[in-house]
Structure 1
Amino acid sequence: MEKKTIVLGVIGSDCHAVGNKILDYSLSDAGFNVVNIGVLSPQEDFINAAVETNADAILVSSLYGHGEIDCRGMREKCEEAGLKDILLYVGGNIVVGKQEWADVHQRFKEMGFDRVYPPGTSVETSIHDLKEDLYK
């Protein structure tokens, strides 16, 4: 089975690095080729890394609550860059304040994200979903 390439990073002005490192190690251990662009990353860095590495998926992390703002238009920018079929995952504390998760989930799905994870989602869940989505 060929190794799939995942671009991983923390979007926007978010500098939460610990979870990013945990995801990097866990995804690598699960057999993925991880391209970790780190923290404080704009959408363009994710997209450029995905184009340069011919990535299969982009995993966006956000913990500071502004993920919804930071992620707007990302699917469209991916398509403009020739990444029409790339998987887009997002997770963490992606909105400000207490909001109904069903509403948050729906908004991100409408923004073009394939998988949307609430705070506290296990790494194993993401790994399972990546394998399910990438090795169909």
Structure 2
Amino acid sequence: MTTVILGVIGSDAHVVGITILERAFAAAGFEVVNLGVQTSQTEFVAAADARDAEAILVSSLYGHAKQDCKGFHEQVDAAGLDVTTYIGGNLAVGQNDFDETRATFEAMGFDRVFDSETDPEEAIEALRADLGHRMPESERARVDA
């Protein structure tokens, strides 16, 4: 089973979004480790290392993700992790041009960047494509039951 690490980075305490994501990714057959809110970069990296995760999903809704994620991928690289990284939410205060916001976070090293209106299914399908596999038949049968 593919393990993903999920959490809200920095001082952000918005829990509803990650609860929805946790349920959606689990229903789609992923093993989800939800670190909760106010998660440090170090906690994301340590959890991904400890669980041999294939992806880290970072959420931020309070608009300060750029500051919270500065140096994040350097920590991922220093730990020797080979993970796909996603970030989503309301990533910038006064975010008017999401294409600009997306470019900023891609330049910081994130593989995909989503806005706060993204349907969880879109992120799930993107992760499956990025990891190069579909849910195994045995998992699909369990979810459909």
Query: Considering the TM-score relative to the shorter chain, is it more than 0.5?
Result: yes
Runs (5+) with no aligned partner, structure 2:
134-145
Larger radius of gyration: 2
Q: Which residue of 1 is the match for residue 77 of structure 2?
A: 79
Q: Distance in 1 between matches of 2:21 and 2:124?
A: 9
Aligned partner (choices 104, 110, 113) of residue 110 of structure 2: 113
Query: How big is the shift at 1:100?
Result: 1.4
Give the aligned partner of residue 6 of structure 1.
4
The CA deviation at 1:105 is: 0.8
Q: Which aligned pairs between 1:58-97 and structure 2 lie closer than 5 A?
A: 58-83=56-81, 85-97=82-94
TM-score (norm 1): 0.95
In 1, Cα distance between equivalents of 2:49 and 2:78: 11
- 1:34 counterpart residue number: 32
The runs of at least 4 consecutive aligned structure 1 residues that moved more than 4 Å come to none
Task: Find the counterpart in structure 1 of residue 23 from structure 2.
Answer: 25
Using the TM superposition, name which of 93-102 and 118-127 deviates more: 93-102
Shift of 1:119: 1.8
The amino acid of 1:128's aligned partner reads: E
Shift of 1:99: 3.2
1:77 aligned partner, one-letter code:
Q
Say whether the 8 Å CA contact 1:7–1:50 is kept in structure 2: yes
In the comparison of the two structures, how many residue pairs are matched?
Answer: 133
RMSD: 0.9
Q: Which amino acid letter does the alignment assign opposite residue 98 of structure 2?
A: W
8 Å contact kept, 1:11–1:42: yes
Q: CA deviation at 1:98?
A: 3.0
Helix, strand or coil for the counterpart of 2:38?
Answer: strand
TM-score, with length taken from structure 2: 0.89
Would you tell me which structure has more strand in proportion to its own residues?
1
